[in-house]
Structure 1
């Protein structure tokens, strides 16, 4: 599965309202070949804010940094718990900017990582890709059983 996630500079520069965030993040993270994938919902975002895994919106608007985090959370939560993701991001953000980390993540998901990509991001992306590959193989197996 190859995501064509937007890089930081491609994310909307305007602050977005909740419904715009949902539309944008779901368009960026749901791949056409995966019907099983769960969409991001308003309840999920509210929970992330409540549990301090996402900064509160300013005047009900979400900024680029929050959108980037939601894209990463939406993809990574298929494999890792939200607590694990937040804890790791917290540690990584002590030495890297959100922009740098997010762009490394996008590189990885696009199979374009380089030696500067933190090992933890590289392994997280590999885990996600293996998860998707397993899902794909399971669906193919189910199809072949239905056809026989």
Structure 2
């Protein structure tokens, strides 16, 4: 996983419409573990909002916090359930800001830093990497 995730300050600082969010997140394509992964879809986002995993858009626009959350969810959704992801994000953002936690996740996924990061973030990043590695090994066998 040598692709680079954008830090909080690199995310668009204007609110985006749904189609723009989909384009942005899917162009990152950082966590596509399987080749036939559709990435993020509008149906997924609507379900995340409906089930309380993502704040409702304001005037049909999504802000930087929602975008960051969708990037994390998209990265982790092949390995963890949405309930696990949402519970973890909610727990981590009680004490720290969304910006801090998102940047911690990005630093870990970009393999820039591990020391001093919450253990759950490091473990999640390692799990995604191992899942990807295992998937690639299985593909070579088949």
Question: How would you bin the TM-score normalised by the shorter chain?
Answer: over 0.9
What is the CA distance between 1:80 and its match in structure 2? 0.6
Aligned position for 1:137: 137
In the superposition, the TM-score normalised over structure 2's length comes to 0.94
Q: 114-123 or 60-69, which moves further after superposition? A: 114-123
Aligned position for 1:23: 23
Q: Confirm or deny: 8 A CA contact 1:30 1:39 kept in the other structure.
A: no
Aligned position for 1:145: none
Listed as ranges, the gaps of 5+ residues in structure 1 are 143-148
Aligned position for 1:67: 67
Aligned mates of 2:4, 2:69 — CA distance in 1: 16
Q: Which runs of 4+ in 1 moved over 2 A?
A: 29-34
What is the CA distance between 1:121 and its match in structure 2? 0.2
Pairs aligned (count): 142
What is the CA distance between 1:32 and its match in structure 2? 8.1
Aligned mates of 1:59, 1:48 — CA distance in 2: 17
Aligned position for 2:109: 109
What is the CA distance between 1:135 and its match in structure 2? 1.0
Query: Match of 2:53, SS?
Result: coil
1:91-115, CA deviations, whole angstroms, 9 ceiling, x for partnerless residues? Answer: 1111111001101111111111242
Aligned position for 2:128: 128
Aligned mates of 1:66, 1:16 — CA distance in 2: 10
Q: Confirm or deny: 8 A CA contact 1:29 1:71 kept in the other structure.
A: no
Cα RMSD (Å): 1.6
Aligned position for 2:100: 100
Aligned mates of 2:15, 2:33 — CA distance in 1: 30
